[in-house]
């Protein structure tokens, strides 16, 4: 039988393996609780915001979502910025190809993200 190897582990091995499993489960459990507590509300806000952004960009660029130029507004990146001016600058750079005035959109977006928290840990941009 192929079970031979499993029958005679030394006692310590099986104890430490069991302990390790418990630790992992505990840790996962704690993490799970924290993420749910904080992410649901933030994610909800974030989704609403992103839908709003897409809708606004559609109006600014005057086209359907599929035809939209490659505009990426990274909310975490904006939340990282030191202050409102820097956020506004980032947005202006992002929207540089837009032929309609973007001030209103930028102002509104900055108002909406005020007080939001970042959802993702800071990532090193890998190129």
How far apart are the two ends of the chain, measured CA to CA in Å?
A: 51
Rounded to two decimals, what is the model's pTM? 0.59
* Percent composition of the chain: helix, strand, coil (DSSP 3-state, to 5): 70, 0, 30
C-alpha to C-alpha distance for 21 and 24, rounded to whole angstroms: 5
Task: Supply the pLDDT for residue 61.
Answer: 85
80-109 residue pLDDT tens: 999 999 999 999 999 988 889 999 999 999
Structural domains for the chain: 40-114 (1.10.150.220)
């Amino acid at each position: 039988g192929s079970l031979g190897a499993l029958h005679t582990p030394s006692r310590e091995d099986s104890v430490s393996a069991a302990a390790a499993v418990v630790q992992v489960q505990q840790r996962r459990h704690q993490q799970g609780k924290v993420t749910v507590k904080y992410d649901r509300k933030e994610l909800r806000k974030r989704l609403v915001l992103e839908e709003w952004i897409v809708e606004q960009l559609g109006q600014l660029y005057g086209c359907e979502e599929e035809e939209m130029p490659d505009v990426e507004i990274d909310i975490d990146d904006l939340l990282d910025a030191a202050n409102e001016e820097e956020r506004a600058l980032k947005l202006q750079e992002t929207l540089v190809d837009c032929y309609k005035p973007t001030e209103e959109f930028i102002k509104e977006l900055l108002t909406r993200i005020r007080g939001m928290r970042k959802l993702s840990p800071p990532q090193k941009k890998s190129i």
